[in-house]
Amino acid sequence: MATIEEKIIKAGFMLPPLPAVAGLYSPAIITGNLVFTSGQLPLMDGKLIEPGGKGKVSDVRKDEAFHASRVALLNALAAIKSVTGSLDAIEKIVKLTLYVSSETFFSSQHLVANGASSLLHEIFGERGAHARSAVGVAELPLDASLELELIVQYNSASH
């Protein structure tokens, strides 16, 4: 059976190195058998991806933001791996929260979140089904287009 990282590659992506923190926080923490990530931005090599990773999202930029949500998701998975040692320890994706820096009257945050959600389903199968919130906000750190948080259940015996 393929590992989660092999499934990420099969989906056309690579698990990035853990992004550097930009403040006084941990990228992910474990409590009990849950892992909570800090908000992850669509960063590659320490920079917001362009296009789609910077600035407010509108109907015109919705598809770019869909891709940016996948990049932020991969950063969240890298944060989870940093505390669990392996993505194969994930038993269930519990909740995804996506904050979208939105232009006035943009109300398709849920479609942007579908980028991350569909990749979770592709990588994790049934374990990738999750609860979700997609929220429009006025501004995000570094003028990012979106910020993503994950909560996952993991097998602490494999840690």
CB 67 within 8 A of CB 59: no
pTM for the whole structure: 0.96
4-158: CATH class: alpha beta
Can you tell me which residue has the tokens 């989660």?
Answer: 4
Residue 15, token pair as written in the block: 């698990």
Can you tell me which residue has the tokens 């407010």?
Answer: 56
Per this entry, what is the length of the chain?
A: 159
Residue 1 pLDDT? 84
CA-closest candidate to residue 118, choices 13, 6, 1: 13
Q: Where do the structural domains in the chain lie, given as residue ranges?
A: 4-158
Residue 65, token pair as written in the block: 């933001």
Tens digits of pLDDT across the chain (159 residues): 899 999 999 999 999 999 888 889 999 999 999 999 999 999 999 999 987 788 999 998 999 999 999 999 999 999 999 999 999 999 999 999 999 999 999 999 999 999 999 999 999 999 999 999 999 999 999 999 999 999 999 998 865
CA-closest candidate to residue 39, choices 17, 7, 8, 72: 72
CA distance 62 to 46: 23
Angle in degrees, CA 27, 28, 31, rounded to 5: 155
